[in-house]
Structure 1
Amino acid sequence: MDKWYSFKWLSFNTLTSFHWAEPYFLYGIIAVPLLFFLRRIFHGKARQRLNVAFLPKEVKTSWVQYLRHLPGLFIGLGISFLLVSLARPQIITETEERLAEGIEIVLALDVSDSMLMKDLLPNRMESAKKVATEFVNGRFRDKIGVVVFAGQSFFLCPLTTDYELVKQQIASIKPDIISTAGTAIGSALANSINLMRDTESKSKVAILLSDGDNTAGNLDPVTAAQLANAYGIRVYTIGIGRENATIEQDTTGMSMETLDIGVLKEIAAQSKGKFFQVEDAEALRKVFKQINQLEKVDIKSSYYQDIKDFYHIYLKWAISFLLLGLLVKSTFIGNILED
């Protein structure tokens, strides 16, 4: 911090940057020159003056007469800075601290070949990635992990509060990330459970998004759902596609797999979660928003203010000018017969 006598404290930028605790004292500065003006009117004609005899006449009528104003000027500045000090200039730094007991969420995303269907533009996989990224952006202090699955399942991202890392990993999902064909829903649930089973979080959630029935893996999805319930993990299942529709082709001529919602509903029921079915990108976005509200944590905001007072700086300026005014008044510059 600059020394108290630095001219920085007198700059316009510094003065306007302050918060004034008692701003009405600043209005008194306007009255300071007015008081001297009134004093001159009512008292000036009656006062006596002692001419300085040892100075030449031409000097007495030039700069000396102006020097006689210095005591009044210094005292006026002293009073003005005293008023500035009384106004209590402060710099206030506000800090917001947001507190929340975060929950744990694992996103289990189906990356099988059927996720390339274009009934959700540009395709199911890209739509799911985009909406999942939006979901991550809406979380606060939650640990989020990512599991991907097709014919096999593996961890893509461990539980973390580094949301940039989570979004980078979601963006890295490609159609050929898992070469084994099929849909191993049970294995995906098992991996999700493994990420959360040893943690002490009061709320644990798995969001499983798939567009097909369980056709691969060694673990039955319903058994995995019961295991999730035993560990206190709720599973929200999201089915993409139309239920029990006949085999058809999308706009590219690729065969579209239809949705068997039975296993997804059972997973949600066994784990005390909820099942959702979507047929377009907007519906998928609404589902994630609904889950976001269902698993919203209470956020407590605390505001802190760091207040630094700078009245002492201007008090030192005031004392200095008042002493300087009295000192100058006691020299030949002052009028010893005045007052």
Structure 2
Amino acid sequence: MLDESKYSWLSLEWFTPTGFQSFDWAFPIFLYALPLVLILFLLKWLIGTKIKQKLPVALPKQDIERSWTSYLRVIPNLFTALALAMLIVALARPQRTNEEVEQWTEGIDIVLIIDTSESMQIEDFKPNRLEAAKQTARDFINGRFQDRIGLVIFSGDAYSLSPLTTDYELLGSFIDTEVDFGKIENRGTAIGSAIATGTNRMTESTAASKVMILLSDGDNTAGNIDPITAAELAAAYGIKIYTIGIGKDGKVPYGKDFFGRPNYIENTLDETTLRKIAEIGDGQFYRASDNEALSNVFSLIDQYEKAEIKETRYKNTTDFYPIYAKWGLVFFILFMLSKSTFVSNVLED
């Protein structure tokens, strides 16, 4: 970084490539005039050699060698060229802009509730319902910004896998290693207990928006809390509930027989209850029958539940054209001094 103190303009660093690359230019079009300075003085020299008067003098050959002092005559022209170049750079107005951004967000607290019952092994999703749900949950989490997210899993019981946190890497690790069919021993589908567990995680939340996303593929067959009652309790805490029914109705592939052929079982889903839960929670119900549909559902929810991000930008612009204007003045003064001295009057061969 170039020094910007009182006498820093005397530094030769202002003429280095690094110095020029650090600038923004308000009027960069002027920089195209720099080559014209060189062309101008080249033309001046060519024209001068053609029209300059010459005095024929007869001298011995050994006396007509050019003296080094004859080169001093170019010094005034050099100072003139440098003065013009500095003027052009100053007109291009070199500057630096520092931009500071203040950003804050009204965070959202989100609890993901994932069904891990045996029926989530059904393979109408690839590779199965649970793995599809896990991948979609990972993508959803990675797309959030400064939102606290918690995880609840359930089958015959509900289990709070992670408290509300912004450590998305930790959440991803939990999804990879802890969300599986063997985590909860009791079999069944305790939807009411899952909602109650998620609500318990939200009781001390002070977030502007609290959201619960429930993903299940079956009927409420376990637990000691009715899903509708649990939904009403969540609504009392101001929690919005989205419900996602996962899976197809009718015969679906589940495991393989002795010969490696897929077995088919009859699948049902209590869509009515899931719709009612979403209605009570002022959210929406979605039905997903394959991986793409599930991904689209989470994308919709992601769009609906965006935190309000406020951003304030500050720009501080510093101009550096006075530095080059000062150098231009210095070179002009040197030109005036040199052109009145012997330097410009050196005899030419």
Q: Normalized against structure 2, the TM-score is what?
A: 0.78
| Structure 2 residue 272 is matched with structure 1 residue 262 | yes
Question: Which residue number corresponds to residue 260 of structure 2?
Answer: none
Q: Which amino acid letter does the alignment assign opposite residue 212 of structure 1?
A: G
Secondary structure of the residue aligned to 1:69 is: helix
Which secondary structure does the structure 2 equivalent of 1:108 belong to?
strand
> Take 1:295 and 1:16, find their aligned partners in 2: how far apart are those partners?
43
Residues 103-162 of structure 1, C-alpha deviations (whole Å, 9 max, x = no match): 221110111222112121101110001111222233333322211112222222222333
Taking the aligned partners of 1:80 and 1:195, their CA distance within structure 2 comes to 69
Displacement of 1:333 after TM fit? 2.2
* Whole-angstrom CA distance in 1 between matches of 2:266 and 2:91: 79
Q: Does residue 320 of structure 2 align to residue 310 of structure 1?
A: yes
Alignment pair present for 1:124 and 2:134: no
CA-based RMSD of the aligned residues comes to: 3.6
Query: 2 CA distance for matches of 1:201 and 1:114?
Result: 34
Q: Distance in 1 between matches of 2:253 and 2:70?
A: 104
Pairs within 5 Å for 1:105-254: 105-172=110-177, 173-243=179-249, 245=250, 250-252=254-256, 253=263
Residue 120 of structure 2 contacts residue 128 of structure 2 at CA under 8 Å; is this kept in 1? yes
Shift of 1:221: 1.6
**1:148 touches 1:154 (CA, 8 Å); kept in 2?**
yes
TM-score, structure 1 normalization: 0.81
Letter in 1 for 2:195: L
- Show CA shifts across 1:146-204 (max 9, x none): 11112222222222333333333222323322233222222211121122222232321
Quote the Cα distance in structure 2 between the aligned partners of 1:255 and 1:107: 28
Deviates more, 1:91-100 or 1:265-274: 91-100
Structure 2 match to 1:103: 108
Is 282-291 or 292-301 further displaced after alignment?
A: 292-301
| Residue range with higher mean Cα deviation, 115-124 or 73-82 | 73-82
AA matched with 2:272 = G
**Structure 2 regions of 5+ residues with no counterpart?**
4-8, 54-62, 257-262
1:252-273 deviation per Cα after TM superposition (whole angstroms, max 9, x unaligned): 2486653222332222222222
- Given residue 152 of structure 1, which amino acid in structure 2 is its aligned partner? D
Distance 1:280 1:156 in 2: 26
Partner residue, 2:57: none
Task: Give the Cα separation in 2 of the matches to 1:306 and 1:167.
Answer: 40
Q: Which residue of 2 aligns with 1:87?
A: 92
Aligned pair 1:25/2:25, yes or no? no
Question: Which residue in the other structure is 1:295 paired with?
Answer: 305
What's the offset of the Cα at 1:208?
A: 0.4
Q: 1:154 to 1:26 in 2, by over 3 A?
A: same
Q: Could you tell me whether the CA contact under 8 Å between 2:129 and 2:247 is conserved in 1?
A: no
CA distance in 1, matches of 2:138, 2:253: 29
Conserved 8 A contact 1:78-1:319 = yes
Change (3 A) 1:37 1:276: closer
Matched residues in 2 for 1:257 and 1:24: separation? 71
**Distance in structure 2 (CA, Å) of the matches to 1:287 and 1:144:** 18
Letter in 1 for 2:70: Q
What is the CA distance between 1:251 and its match in structure 2? 4.3
Conserved 8 A contact 2:122-2:253: no
Q: Residues of 1 paired with 2:125 and 2:244: CA distance?
A: 14
Provide the aligned length of Structure 1 versus Structure 2.
328
Task: Give the match's secondary structure for 2:343.
Answer: coil
Give the distance between the partners of 1:183 and 1:138, measured in 2 at CA.
Answer: 29
Unpaired segments of 5 or more residues in structure 1? 48-56
Q: CA deviation at 1:230?
A: 0.7
Residue 292 of structure 2 corresponds to residue 279 of structure 1: no
Question: How far, CA to CA, are the matches of 1:126 and 1:254 in structure 2?
Answer: 19
Which SS does the other structure have where 2:146 is aligned? coil
Cα deviation for residue 232 of structure 1 reads: 1.0
